[in-house]
Structure 1
């Protein structure tokens, strides 16, 4: 009987290890595709892929996190194309995924709070004048929470730099100050270590991009 139980236990451990290795492989592949996405359709496909992974891995928070991130990137792509009226629906999808991720990861996850900030910022851009005091305030609150939880996080520094860089000067923005903040983000990327190979590690290429612009284009 003891031999039978031992064999069963070893078989269970082997199956669990195989399933984890399979999960790690497919997640690594999908995460690696993020930077290759260029269009809103690309990001929608990736969001769907992460949702399918999450439906099979119901105890893991990262599939829902990356699905939300893909939706947010889709929204940012649409925003650059001037399709502001589509952003609320995109934010709805992102926030649904973030709620799932937070239920699994807990309320003290800085990466999730940062994506909530980005989602509220998308909503604000539908009508900045009307939504600054609502969605804009929520975005600022989520960013503050994220920074308190993980002040060394380079993605937080990156998003703060973006906000300053793209905000018009009459509203407190500054391209010069934004570029200095991108330098801070870049420095943090050089020393920050994700907890695992699957944990969020995006953003460094963006900081590098802004700091590589010729001075006349950067300003």
Structure 2
């Protein structure tokens, strides 16, 4: 009987190990696609993929996190193209994914708070003058929470650099200061190690891009 029990236990362990390997494999493949997505449709398809993974791996927080990130990236592409009418709905969907991620990961997760900041910033961009004191303030609060939880996180430095770079000078922004902050972010990327191979590790290429811009484009 003991041999049967041992055999069953070993088979169960092997099955769980295989399932985990399958999860890690598909997540690795989908995370790699983040760098190749270009269009809103690309990011929507990727968000859907992560949502489906999360429905099967209900104890894992990262699928919901990446579904939120892909949704936010979709919104940022639309925003750069001047298409603001969908941003509220996109931010709302991202916030639903983030609620799921936070329920699984806990409240003290800097990466989740940073994405909340980005979602509130999307909402603010629908009408910056009217929403600065609501969504803008909430975005700043989420960024502050993220920085307190993980001050060395390069993605926090990256988003702060974005804010400085793209904010008009009359409101406290500066392209020159933004570039310096991108350099700070890049230095942090070069020394920061994600907790696992699947944990958030995006953003380095963006910092490199802005640092490489010709000087005349940063004035």
When normalised by structure 2's length, the TM-score is 0.99
1:68: which partner in 2? 68
Within 5 Å, give how 1:82-161 maps onto structure 2. Answer: 82-161=82-161
Alignment partners' CA distance in 1, 2:114 and 2:64: 14
Gaps of 5+ in 2: none
* C-alpha displacement of 1:138: 0.3
* C-alpha displacement of 1:5: 1.1
Which stretch of structure 1 is more off in the superposition, 1-10 or 148-157? 1-10
What whole-Å deviation, never above 9, does each CA across 1:107-155 have from its counterpart, x for those lacking one? 0000000000000000000000000000000000000000000000000
When normalised by structure 1's length, the TM-score is 0.99
What whole-Å deviation, never above 9, does each CA across 1:175-208 have from its counterpart, x for those lacking one? 1110110010000000000000000000000000
2:30: which partner in 1? 30
- 1:179 correspondence with 2:179: yes
1:57: which partner in 2? 57
| Segments ≥4 residues shifted beyond 6 Å | none
1:168: which partner in 2? 168
* C-alpha displacement of 1:85: 1.3
SS of structure 2 residue aligned to 1:35? coil
Alignment partners' CA distance in 1, 2:218 and 2:46: 31
Residues matched between the structures, number: 219
